[in-house]
Amino acid sequence: MCGIIGYVGKEDATPYLLDGLRRLEYRGYDSSGIAVLDKDGGINLQKCAGRLENLRRQIGDKPESGCCGISHTRWATHGEATDENAHPHFDQSGKLVLVHNGVIENYQKLRDDLEADGHQFLSQTDSEVLGHLIGLAYENQNGVKESNSEERLVAAVREALKKVSGTYGIVVMHVDAPGFLVGARLGSPLIVGLGKDENFLASDVSAVVAHTSDAIYLNDYDLVCLKSDEFKVERIDGGAADFQVSQVEFSAEDVELGDYPHYMLKEIFEQPESIENAFRGRLSDEEASAMLGGLQMSPQELRDVDRIVLVGCGSACHAAMAGEHIIEALSRIPTEVEIASEFRYRNVPLDKHTLVFVISQSGETIDSLGALREAQRKGFRVLSLVNAVGSTIARESDGGTYMHSGPEIGVAATKSFTSQLTLLTLLGLLLGRMRDMSVSDGQEILREIRALPDKVREVLKQNERIKEIALKYVEAPGMLYLGRQFNYSTALEGALKMKEISYIFASGHASAELKHGVIALITEDLPSVFVAPKDSVYEKNMSSMEEVKARKGPVIAITTEGNQELERIADDVIYVPDTIECLNPILSVIPLQLLSYHFAVARDCDVDKPRNLAKSVTVE
């Protein structure tokens, strides 16, 4: 949450910062701001509430010129989305500016103390307090030579950070130290982009990939000093930092919209490729199994696993719920799902043969990271299933597997979800083949996995038909989603997609739960979406559908190609190609993604940037 980018180079900073903010807007879009050190040594600051467009308009034809600057796009935590609360924030002297992502938990006490000493605050944010604290430490630096402003600034950042508790990714700039930026992180992501005669600090690599593919993923407690042709990474306490320069694995083009009107639609349509990328090089015909070398576990260690705990938030948690069914069906290993935010504060019993698996697209979700650290603190091996290469969860886990979905920018998770399901199936296959699964069953799963991309293409061909259905129900006051077994989590995921981008109430349920309460909601106006492929619970699903129809509730059914029977019961039927039961959710969720997309567009909602949300939830 919140995106920050700093630039120091030989060019005018403003275009770099605005372009970087555009790419980071998915992280928060309540307000934005930019501060550039101008040629006369003053700080030009522009900031305002609302979308980045507002800031662009405000800057208009009076762009600030200067080769060093910092900027921010906000997702409000402390204080409403107003001009005053937008970042960057000045210190008391007006000579230092700061951008911050994270939460300073003890800000109120610090603010009270500073106010008692005469500091005046212009915003309600916790971040401004940190700016004042650093500015004060800068003024009070005694141990460092007066003339060395850069050293003084670094020492001030170090000293101030000792006083705060909470999380931060910060970038700081001071008029006394032109062409010099200081960044630090704890709990909020920060990367360094290394260019030619220009360097960057940003919340993620997508902000800098148009200019460089050399990046350093900072660790917690790292501090970085940046000039146009020089960088230094150390620990905040002054110790040596362990870092390396990595190559970003995607290009600037990958983060462009192309011909699509929205990232969400683009990402839905990328699924044939993203699913293929998830399994490419990981299928073994010889062993009728999967190869997941990144887990870094020997066959013996994998055999010893007698329980799996899958952890995630939101859509990643729904993928985990599908994973529970898949892994148990394929390997018979008892598998449980924990919501990451619950897991980290709960004393979940684990034993030495329990494998904890954290699932996260961004690899930065603070609750998932907290869960990972909690399990590691207890001495457990924690693996991860992550999309963003070099992200904190990927780096801190003891092994794992990357999704290789490419950047997912639309706030609603789409392609990452189907990649997660694909990889959880590979995990189930690998573990199953180490136990009782036969070669022929393993081969069948491999065949079906390989067939997925083409089957997904078939589903996508129905886009226009799904749009028609969405338009038909666009005035609906809400939506119910129902599914069973492997597709219970598909129902939850479909409902989440609808809620988050269309702002109508939607809820997902196990179909048979209808009659235990939910059926009271059924009216002529409330559509129910049934995920009802021709599987082992098809007839049961059909009975639930009949119960809804008997009460005049409209029904949209997702079922298997060739199964015409549901035309008789349902008002609208969407067909997906046949596959094995455990892979059906990958196909069935796609019509649900498209349904919510078209629904949201028809309701004039901002599909890629739904209200109150941000893509990467890096605050608790």
What is the b/e burial string over 560-581, where b = at least 16 CB atoms within 10 angstroms of the residue's CB? beebeebeebbbbbbbbbbbbb
CA–CA distances in Å: residue 308 to residues 52, 297, 342, 350: 43, 14, 17, 9
- Residue 282 or 318 with smaller CB distance to ligand F6R: 318
- Residue 182 or 372 with smaller CB distance to ligand F6R: 372
Q: Are 418 and 460 in contact (CB under 8 A)?
A: no
Residue whose beta carbon is closest to ligand F6R = 314
User: Which backbone phi and psi does 71 adopt, to 5 degrees?
Assistant: -155, 170
Say how far apart CA 427 and CA 582 lie, in whole Å: 13
**In the complex, least distance from residue 607 CB atom to ligand F6R, rounded to whole angstroms:** 12
Say how far apart CA 327 and CA 335 lie, in whole Å: 7
Check if 2 is active-site: yes
**In the complex, least distance from residue 417 CB atom to ligand F6R, rounded to whole angstroms:** 8
Say how far apart CA 431 and CA 519 lie, in whole Å: 39
**In the complex, least distance from residue 504 CB atom to ligand F6R, rounded to whole angstroms:** 15
**In the complex, least distance from residue 485 CB atom to ligand F6R, rounded to whole angstroms:** 22
Residue of 2, 68, 313, 582 marked active site = 2
DSSP, collapsed to helix, strand or coil, labels residue 307 as strand
**In the complex, least distance from residue 439 CB atom to ligand F6R, rounded to whole angstroms:** 34
**List of residues contacting ligand F6R (CB under 6 A):** 313-316, 360-362, 365, 368, 412-413, 496, 500, 616-617
Helix (H) or strand (E) holding 209: none
The closest alpha carbon to 333, from 309, 352, 313, 357, belongs to 309
**In the complex, least distance from residue 275 CB atom to ligand F6R, rounded to whole angstroms:** 17
- Residue 111 or 499 with smaller CB distance to ligand F6R: 499
Say how far apart CA 455 and CA 448 lie, in whole Å: 10
**In the complex, least distance from residue 364 CB atom to ligand F6R, rounded to whole angstroms:** 7
Six-digit token string for 349: 């019993």
Q: Is 521 exposed, middle or buried (0-12, 13-18, 19+ CB in 10 A)?
A: middle
**In the complex, least distance from residue 564 CB atom to ligand F6R, rounded to whole angstroms:** 33
- Residue 202 or 316 with smaller CB distance to ligand F6R: 316
- Residue 167 or 362 with smaller CB distance to ligand F6R: 362
CA–CA distances in Å: residue 465 to residues 17, 270, 573: 41, 19, 10
Residue of 266, 455, 609, 615 marked active site = 615
DSSP, collapsed to helix, strand or coil, labels residue 36 as strand
- Residue 184 or 386 with smaller CB distance to ligand F6R: 386
3-state percent helix, strand, coil for the chain, nearest multiple of 5? 40, 20, 40
Q: Given the DSSP bridges, would you call strands 478-483 and 400-402 parallel, antiparallel or unpaired?
A: unpaired
- Residue 182 or 592 with smaller CB distance to ligand F6R: 592
Say how far apart CA 553 and CA 176 lie, in whole Å: 69
Check if 317 is active-site: no
- Residue 66 or 189 with smaller CB distance to ligand F6R: 189
Catalytic residues: 2, 615
